[in-house]
Amino acid sequence: MIKARPQDAQQPLESLLALSAPPLRWSDVLTYAKYGNPDPARRLLLSEAEWAARLLPAQFQVLRQARTEPPYRNAYCRSYEPGRYACAGCGQVLFDSAAKYHAISGWPSFTQPATRGALRFHFDDSHHMQRVEVRCNVCEGHLGHVSADGPAPAGLRFCINSASLRQAPEGTL
Ligand SMILES: [Zn+2]
């Protein structure tokens, strides 16, 4: 827990809240998937036809049809440029490059979301596997999955499709 000090007073409230928020843990993910996710500050819910008109085909297949892009042959798998990653569907900031790490999975991997309320979690029993699906909390677009085999301290591994993300250089989002 990072406590606010007097010299932090000039910082925006939002950044102080983000710093002081406890990290998301596997028990939190399971609780959200089982009992419901936090309400987002805004929602963007469109028809599938509207999404098809708005998104590139590869983005539509991942975000709206929950497809998985090929491992390694995707934009952000090996990219470690500093900056933030927003949802390709609605622009919500989802991840920060500071939480990105090399998981050797073939997809971009993160240990934490940018903020606690950015994501929503759902149990996914498709493909004969028991997984936890990760979606954008604003537009409910499919992003990927989260598992409990990530690095310490929180132990989470967010395995996310590049096509669901749009990276913006540091300071622009
Ligand atoms: Zn979104």
Let me know if 87 is a catalytic residue: no
**What phi and psi values does residue 119 have, to the nearest 5 degrees?**
-120, 160
Distance (angstroms) between ligand 1 centre and the Cα of 63 equals: 8
Distance CA 129, CA 91 (A): 30
CA of 59 to the centre of ligand 1 (A): 11
Compute the distance between CA of residue 37 and CA of residue 85 in angstroms, rounded to an integer.
Answer: 21
Ligand 1 centre to CA of 80 (Å) is 22
Percent composition of the chain: helix, strand, coil (DSSP 3-state, to 5): 30, 25, 50
| pLDDT of the chain, 173 residues: tens digit per residue | 444 444 444 444 444 445 447 899 999 999 999 999 999 999 999 999 999 999 999 999 999 999 999 999 999 998 888 999 999 999 999 999 999 999 889 999 999 999 989 999 999 998 888 999 999 999 999 999 999 999 988 999 999 999 999 998 777 77
Q: Are 89 and 135 in contact (CB under 8 A)?
A: no
- Ligand 1 centre to CA of 94 (Å) is 8
- Rounded Cα distance, 142 and 133, in Å: 8
Distance CA 146, CA 56 (A): 25
Give the domain ranges of the chain.
28-169
CATH class, 28-169 region: mainly beta
Check residue 169 and give its pLDDT: 72
Supply 51's token pair.
Answer: 């999404």
pLDDT digits (tens, 9 = 90+) for 61-97: 999 999 999 999 999 998 888 999 999 999 999 999 9
Whole-model pTM: value is: 0.86
| d(C-alpha 21, C-alpha 103), whole Å | 25
Ligand 1 ion local residues (Cβ < 5 A): 87, 89-90, 92, 136, 138-139, 141
| Residue labelled with tokens 């098809």 | 52
Question: Can you say whether the dihedral through the CA atoms of 80, 100, 59, 61 is positive or negative?
Answer: positive
Tokens of 91: 């622009």
User: How far, in Å, are 42, 85, 121, 135 from residue 32 at the CA level?
Assistant: 18, 22, 6, 12
